[in-house]
Amino acid sequence: MSQDVSRREMLKAGIVLASGTAISPLFLLSSQAQAAGPLPWSAANTILSETTVPTFPNKTFALTDYGAKGDGSTDNTSAFQKATTACNAAGGGQVVVPSGTFVSGAIQLLSNVNLHLNSGATIMFSGDVSKYPVVLTRYQGIELMNHSPLIYAHGQKNIAVTGSEQTGGIQNVYCYNLSSFGSGVWSCLYIKSNPDRGGFVKNVNMDTVKGSGRSDQSTSSGPPAAILAILDYNNTTSGSHLPVFDQFHVSNMSFDSSPYAVRLEGLSNDKIGTVTVSNSTFTNIAHQTSIVNNVKSLTYSHVTINGKSVS
């Protein structure tokens, strides 16, 4: 039985993999949409035509089974390599990094390996240059021998890095024909950071999205919403790394049951940029009025909340 990497995971992984550098561009796409034909964005269609989504066997290799410790100090370079090698030798699967802080040098991916970070997992890359072997790489577009990047692969096929948190930055994201399932989702679009975490998220595009929400409140994020972007995650409003959130575009969203349809909370010294919502319907929303603080531009077009038009 093969295991497909969900596009939602790929989005999140793109941010994790970035490690302070933008991964551009990425997109999300359901298998139904892939078969149906063109997407609503020309840039996304170009990406689609050039992309093959990896698939992996349904096998897992827990990093801790290879001696890793997520204590923020143990060197786990060897454990990462052992787990990756074992996964590759078995025909592929997921190398799973559990919750914790795992210090490591360079991680070299092999064919058919999905390096997956569970919620709460952090890879803290070592500052010891000896942990980064000299490999064939590029610098400013020039091929050369240099110390390995944080995560490296050469001559390998069918690899991925997936996860559930964001670090660094991401831009040019395209999400199409998505549906939530199960007992409801926190948000269809959920982006969070604070001035201590930093990072950037730019040009996120969602079209044809269906979902149902939930009502429980988070101590670190506050109440959920169908569209949620906050710059005070974990109640942190100060720091030296101001995030950049800009150009979020949502169209044809149908969302049911949530405290809020839209909740956008920037900071007085770090505003969220442009947000547009069009041709969307929100039903069974507890609060008719959305929360919008410190946002440069929010535009509604043909949007209803509980049957009432908003503008």
Tell me the per-residue pLDDT of 133-148, one tens digit each, with 9 for 90 and over: 999 988 766 788 999 9
Whose CA is closest to 273, among 205, 206, 203?
203
At 45, the pLDDT band (50, 70, 90 cuts) reads confident
Flag whether pLDDT at 282 surpasses 60: yes
Q: What's this model's pTM, rounded to 2 decimal places?
A: 0.61
Q: What is the mean pLDDT of the chain?
A: 85
Cβ atoms of 22 and 168 closer than 8 Å: yes
Whose CA is closest to 152, among 118, 121, 113?
113
Q: Residue 27: what pLDDT? A: 41
**Structural domain boundaries in the chain:** 2-23+54-162, 180-310
Flag whether pLDDT at 25 surpasses 70: no
Mean pLDDT of 70-80: 96
- The burial of 38, by beta-carbon neighbours within 10 Å (0-12 exposed, 13-18 middle, 19 or more buried), is given as exposed
Lowest pLDDT segment from 34-38, 105-109, 146-150, 290-294: 34-38
Tell me the per-residue pLDDT of 204-219, one tens digit each, with 9 for 90 and over: 999 999 999 887 777 7
Query: End-to-end distance of the chain based on CA atoms, in angstroms?
Result: 48
Q: Residue 90: what pLDDT? A: 97
The whole-angstrom separation of Cα 134 and Cα 131 is 10
For domain 2-23+54-162, say whether CATH 2.160.20.10 is its number: yes
